[in-house]
Structure 1
Amino acid sequence: MQTIGAPGLILLVILALLLFGPNKLPELGRAVGRTFREFKNGARDMMADDDPAARRSERSDVIESKSDERRNLE
């Protein structure tokens, strides 16, 4: 299977700039990041044991990351 090389990556960035414009790209990047984070958290929850202490720890990580996001937006 072939990977996307540097020229392909540059072409994708140029195409994204043309389609979405420079003002929308940061917003789009944040949305993609949130989607990956939610997917990862959902997968972790599905794989987690029934250990309540582990779940509490994971929830506190999510709460901390959300509060960090809010601070960054202010």
Structure 2
Amino acid sequence: MNLGMTEILIILLIALLLFGPRKLPELGRSLGQSIREFQRGVRSVREEFERAAEVKEFKEIKEELSKPIEEVRKPIEAKEEAKG
């Protein structure tokens, strides 16, 4: 949804009529702070998902790498058991 200059001016005019000229700067500050907090929250959630994905990928890679190691270990352990 893109707002053109006309739409923005209409919104500002309605806000001016509803809240008055003294409240508009305060309203603008509050809106700006709310938008920043929302963006921080979205960023935090995104970072958490990315960390979780990295952990999952790391576990999958670790499992894939451990398969060949187990295949090598089995004959060695069997040999050691046969000696002992």
Structure having the higher helix fraction is: 2
Residue 10 of structure 1: SS of its match in structure 2? helix
2:42 aligned partner: 43
Distance 1:17 1:5 in 2: 18
Q: Which residue of 2 aligns with 1:14?
A: 13
Local SS of the residue matching 2:22: coil
CA shift for structure 1 position 17: 0.6
Aligned CA RMSD, in angstroms, stands at: 1.9
- Unaligned runs of at least 5 residues, structure 2: 53-84
Question: Which contiguous aligned blocks of 4+ residues in structure 1 show a shift greater than 4 angstroms?
Answer: none
Distance 1:15 1:42, change over 3 A: same
Please tell me whether Structure 1 or Structure 2 has the larger radius of gyration of its CA atoms: 2
Long gaps (5+) in structure 1:
51-74
Per-residue CA shift, 1:26-73, capped at 9, x if unaligned? 1111111111111111111111137xxxxxxxxxxxxxxxxxxxxxxx
**Separation (CA, whole Å) in 2 of partners of 1:6 and 1:37:** 23
DSSP-derived class of the 2:15 partner: helix
* CA distance in 2: counterparts of 1:31 and 1:17, whole angstroms: 15
Aligned length: 49
Whole-angstrom distance in 2 between the partners of 1:5 and 1:30: 22
Give the TM-score normalised by structure 2. 0.50
Q: Normalising to structure 1: TM-score of the pair?
A: 0.55
Deviation at 1:6, TM superposition (A): 2.2
